[in-house]
Structure 1
Amino acid sequence: MTAFLNALGGKLAERWFALLAVPGLVYLVALATAVTLGRRHWRDTGRLRERLDALAAAPGAHSAGVLAVCAVAVLAGAALTGTGVQAMGALVERVWLTAPRGPVTRWLTERRSRGWRAADDAYRTALVAAGRARLSGAADADGLVAEAEARYARRNRIGLVAPRHPFWTGDRVTTPDRRVWRAYRLDLTAAWPHLWLLAPDSTRAELGTSRTALTAAARLTAWGVAYLLLALWWWPAALVGAATLATGAVRGRTAAASFAELAEALVDLQGADLARALGLECEGRLTPDTGEELTRLLSKPD
């Protein structure tokens, strides 16, 4: 038991150091650099070196006690900074997944919905044209098919289904609910805990990894915002902030897509097993009739 607790404590310390202390220390260094150099002396390394020499020559710099207190203070400041940015990351994640509740988010949702409908109309028009060209044996049939495929991909880049959220990430994470209902008449929200319990450990690990990746991407985006704030004093921080912000956004989209695909795959692979586990007859794959019956059973109506 002692060995287990020691190992657990070591892992927690490593995780704390990686998630909070190290990024916080780097940010504090960037903050000190920004405050020291400012806008007018943004590349004056001599000014920075003079400041470091002055700190090294201070009387307290030769006292072990003072150095220990400063080290603890810096680590505490780094941890507090990391904790603050982690909280900001949770806010970023919540914004990514938010539903339209105010005028701004409703406008963004409607804007994305209009773009999707226009892309969907263009795709269906191109699909009809390609089908007619194929049936008539037109010489440009292959080109029209390629055009229809390109328009299909363009529509899917906006969303696999009509948008209902102001941001792409929120729609992608909730898309499995609608696609599973359309394919199987199964309420994924009601079925998810049961599917999770039936899933093998490897599947749950993959789902957990993709969900954690989304949270990590939101946290990275929050770090990008924090570095952009430093640009108010030292403009080179804007380069770091913009790169970090872009990386976090791309990783967030990738993680959201991965989680949604795995959620749909879980239903495809375990949906029939769930029906049989609850005593329903299900030969082969899950059908809409069985999915509807399963939804009624799981929703527990009065």
Structure 2
Amino acid sequence: MTAFVSALGDKLAERWLALLAVPGLIYLVALGTATTLGQRHWHDPAPLRARLDGLAAAPGAHSPGVIAVAAVAVLAGAAATGAAAQALGGWVEQAWLIDVRGPLTRRLAARRLRRWQQADGRYRAALVAAGRARIGHADDAGALADEAERHFAARNRIGPTAPRHAFRTGDRIAAPEQRVWRAYHLDLAVAWPHLWLLAPDGTRAELDGARTALASAARLVAWGAGYAVLAVWWWPAALIGALTAATGVTRGRAAAASFADLVEALVDLHGRDLALALGVECEGGLTRTVGEAVTRALGKPD
């Protein structure tokens, strides 16, 4: 038991350092640099050296008690900064996944839907042209097929299905529910807790990893916003903030795609196990008939 508590404490300490203390400490260093240099001396390290020399020459710099108190204060400030970024990251994640509720989200979702429909129209037109060329044994059949594939990829960059959310990440997370229903007539929202219980530990770990990566990406966007605020004192911070936020958005999209693919894979691989566990006959793989039966079996009367 002592070893378990010790290991748990070590893991908590590592997690605290990784998520809160270290990023917060780096931010505090950036804050001190920004307020010291300012806009006029943004590239001149002389003011920063002078401030550090002044702190080193201060009487309290040679007192162990003062140093200890200052270290605790810095660590507390770093932890508080990290906690604020973590909270803001949670709001960013909620914004990514938010349903259409107000005029702004409706406008954003409608804009994405128009872009998707236009891309889908171009893809379908190119697909028809490629099919006709292949049937007629035209010389440009291969080129037309390649063009159709490019239009297909362009449409999927907007979304694998018709957009219903304001942001791409929300649509990517919601896509498995639509795709599973179309393929198997299985209500994924109802079936998900049962599939999760049937999933092996390795599959759960992969899903947890993708979900954690999504939260980390949202937190990275929050840090980007925090660095952008420092541009009020030091304009290079805007570049740091923009790069950090852009990296977070890219990682968030990748994490959402990974999570969605894993969810669909879980249904494909273990949907039959769920049907058998519920007493639904399933001789082969999961089908629409089996999916409808599973959905009915999981439905609870009001």
Matching residue of 2:235: 235
Matching residue of 2:191: 191
Matches within 5 A, 1:3-18: 3-18=3-18
* Deviation digits for residues 265-289 of structure 1 (CA, Å, limit 9, x no counterpart): 0000000110011000001101101
Distance 1:141 1:13 in 2: 61
Say yes or no: does 1:105 pair with 2:105: yes
Q: CA deviation at 1:94?
A: 0.6
Deviates more, 1:214-223 or 1:141-150: 141-150
Matches within 5 A, 1:244-283: 244-283=244-283
* Deviation digits for residues 15-65 of structure 1 (CA, Å, limit 9, x no counterpart): 101111111111001101111111111122111111111111111111111
Matching residue of 2:68: 68
* Deviation digits for residues 63-109 of structure 1 (CA, Å, limit 9, x no counterpart): 11111111100000000000000001101111111111111110000
Matching residue of 2:286: 286
* Deviation digits for residues 213-262 of structure 1 (CA, Å, limit 9, x no counterpart): 00011111111111111111101112211211111111101100000000
Distance 1:153 1:49 in 2: 52
- Runs of 5+ consecutive residues of structure 2 not aligned to the other structure: none
Q: CA deviation at 1:113?
A: 0.3
How many residues align? The count is 302
Matches within 5 A, 1:198-237: 198-237=198-237
* Deviation digits for residues 119-156 of structure 1 (CA, Å, limit 9, x no counterpart): 11111111111111111122221111111111111111
Q: What is the aligned-residue RMSD (CA, Å)?
A: 0.9
Distance 1:132 1:20 in 2: 59
Distance 2:126 2:5 in 1: 63
Distance 2:237 2:108 in 1: 29
Deviates more, 1:264-273 or 1:117-126: 117-126
Q: CA deviation at 1:297?
A: 1.4
Deviates more, 1:169-178 or 1:49-58: 49-58
Matching residue of 1:177: 177
Distance 1:201 1:265 in 2: 15
Name the amino acid aligned to 1:171. Answer: D
Name the amino acid aligned to 2:254. Answer: T
Name the amino acid aligned to 1:54. Answer: G
> Aligned with 2:232: secondary structure?
coil
Matching residue of 1:35: 35
Distance 2:92 2:157 in 1: 22
Distance 1:4 1:133 in 2: 68
Give 4+ residue runs of structure 1 displaced > 4 Å after superposition: none
Matching residue of 1:21: 21
Distance 2:294 2:162 in 1: 26
Aligned sequence identity (%): 68
The two structures have a TM-score, normalised by structure 1, of 0.98
Distance 2:161 2:264 in 1: 14
Matching residue of 1:85: 85
Distance 2:231 2:87 in 1: 21
Q: CA deviation at 1:171?
A: 0.2
Distance 1:232 1:186 in 2: 52
> Aligned with 2:298: secondary structure?
helix
- Runs of 5+ consecutive residues of structure 1 not aligned to the other structure: none
Q: CA deviation at 1:301?
A: 3.0
Deviates more, 1:168-177 or 1:290-299: 290-299
Q: CA deviation at 1:8?
A: 0.7
Name the amino acid aligned to 1:134. Answer: R
Distance 1:277 1:100 in 2: 36
Distance 1:9 1:296 in 2: 46
